[in-house]
A and B are shown apart, each in its own frame.
Chain A
Amino acid sequence: MEQFLQQVINGISLGSIYALIALGYTMVYGIIKLINFAHCDIYMIGAYTGFFCMTSLNLGLIPSMLIAMVLCMILGAAIEKVAYKPLRNASRITVLITAIGVSLFLEYGMMFLVGANVRAYPTMTGILAEKIHIGDFAIPVQNFFIVGITLLLMIMLQFIVKKTKLGKAMRAVSLDADAARLMGINVNNTISFTFMLGSALAGAAGVLVGVYYTSINPLMGYLPGVKAFIAAVFGGIGSIPGAMIGGFFIGMVEVMVSGYASSLFKDAVVFAILILILIVKPAGLLGKNIREKV
């Protein structure tokens, strides 16, 4: 029973990470219909930024996370301006290939700069090294921390999207960019803002992963990135609640398969879920089917 509870907690924690990353994918896809392959590498750069803040600059966890988020925001906006904006009217394959190129550039550029070796996050001290005791079970505080930060960020995101003017602009542009433009919305800024939001979340996720799993490397983004994307598709790409649900679902599935079946096949199961959902309900749980007008 204790093992099961531990697995559930692991699942929720992992799910939080996936959800944070998935949100970035879903928001960008919702607004410009692009799978931002480079998103998972922004997550990686967030992790590294946190690492350097904590080791070289000796900053605390929260300041490091904030700096990582800001840096990732800037990076995300920059990538959009340089690589994706020129291709707003290009074919889908062209943009997708560009996104892949940016992703590889970030990965191998990072490898070139900091080396391919795995780096270790400093061990957490203080409260984050503790466990909370509930009855017979001891749950690490880190898990609460991760889920807590994630929920906080998600609530903030929902607030921004639902209650602010920029959020409204985001929703308008994802429905119809031309109409939004005609209504006086600055579409370019809105798109940049969307990238910034998603990237900030990915940066936070990167730092959380560094804390939780302690090891980081330049290629760490690829697999979580794909799984987070699968989570976004599962929940319905373009849907923010969908990404959240999807993230937790995929995280839970992965931990359960790993714990009770075989950890060798946990990735294969997640990919199989992707194939299944694309075949059965491509719009995902909460997504809508958009028809091409003939």
Chain B
Amino acid sequence: MAILSVNKLTKSFGGLTAVSDVDIKLQKGELVGLIGPNGAGKTTVFNLLTGIYEPTSGEITLDRDGKQTKLNRMKPYKVSKVGLARTFQNIRLFKDLTVLDNVRIAMNQNINYGVFSGLLHLPSFRHEEKRIRKESIELLDIFSLGAKVNEKARNLPYGEQRRLEIVRALATKPVLLLLDEPAAGMNPAESAQLTDTIAKLRSDFDLTILLIEHDMSVVMKICERIYVMDYGKVIAEGTPDEIRTNKRVIEAYLGEDAANA
């Protein structure tokens, strides 16, 4: 059973159909790309998967170790608890909070003490806080952010902010990670580093990854499969080589003449 099954997913905003009959299947452990021209509906798909938008029709099913959950009308926080995490196209860090706090907040669902204990700083509070602090710093260290633990997120350089968003998403202990244009605004050296990071992510954290990206050097290098969207529909699906030579894809990106050239 695929870890993620999206069937005929459709989303209309009044008269505008942003996403139309989209089918996506992800097997456990895959690293799949989602590409397409601007406005194709890729981020809308992410928003539908994570519960920020409700689908107009269609189904989203997450299969986690045999247990299936329909994600259709779930609120975002519940979707996160079920095992989906994401990063945002325009970074949405908690800018005025420290790097450490950004990560610790994402760990909230895995922390075990009640409000009462929090109010009185009982032993369970102290114990759990120590554990979270340790886990957060370890996670940050893996991504070379350990030294900036007490820095405000807004003070980090751009590339590190993007990394922090990924760390924060990982802190929710997901099984499926949605990355929305993680390479946006990066120079070639940074993109190359990001490519390695994403590959490492998949293996070290046992994740399935769906990646929206415009930077083809990243996509073609690490994605095993690619979905291509245009005007809200999936127009092609296949391996990087298949997609590279797909006429419809070329047409969507470069226009009819290029496709026929």
Contact = CB atoms under 8 A, between A and B. Distances in A.
Contacts of A294: 43, 47, 52, 88
A294 B47 CA distance: 8
Interface string B22-64: 0000000000000000000001000100001000000000000
Interface string A264-294: 0000000000000000000000000000001
Interface in B46-89: 47, 52, 88
Contacts of B88: 294
Interface residues of A, number: 1
Contacts of B47: 294
Nearest to B47: A294
Interface in A216-244: none
A219 B58 CA distance: 56
Nearest to B76: A294
A172 B88 CA distance: 30
A21 B216 CA distance: 57
A294 B11 CA distance: 15
A294 B43 CA distance: 8
Nearest to B14: A288
B119 to A, nearest CB: 26
A294 B178 CA distance: 14
Interface in B184-231: none
A294 B88 CA distance: 8
A294 B18 CA distance: 14
Nearest to B13: A291
Nearest to A288: B14
Contacts of B52: 294
A253 B33 CA distance: 58
A119 B47 CA distance: 58
A294 B52 CA distance: 8
A294 B51 CA distance: 12
B137 to A, nearest CB: 30
A262 to B, nearest CB: 41
B139 to A, nearest CB: 25
A65 B92 CA distance: 51
A175 to B, nearest CB: 15
Contacts of B43: 294
Interface string B74-113: 0000000000000010000000000000000000000000
Nearest to B92: A294
A205 to B, nearest CB: 36
A211 to B, nearest CB: 45
A294 B91 CA distance: 10
Interface of A: 294
4 contacts: A294-B43, A294-B47, A294-B52, A294-B88
CB-CB nearest 4 A-B residue pairs = A294-B52, A294-B47, A294-B88, A294-B43
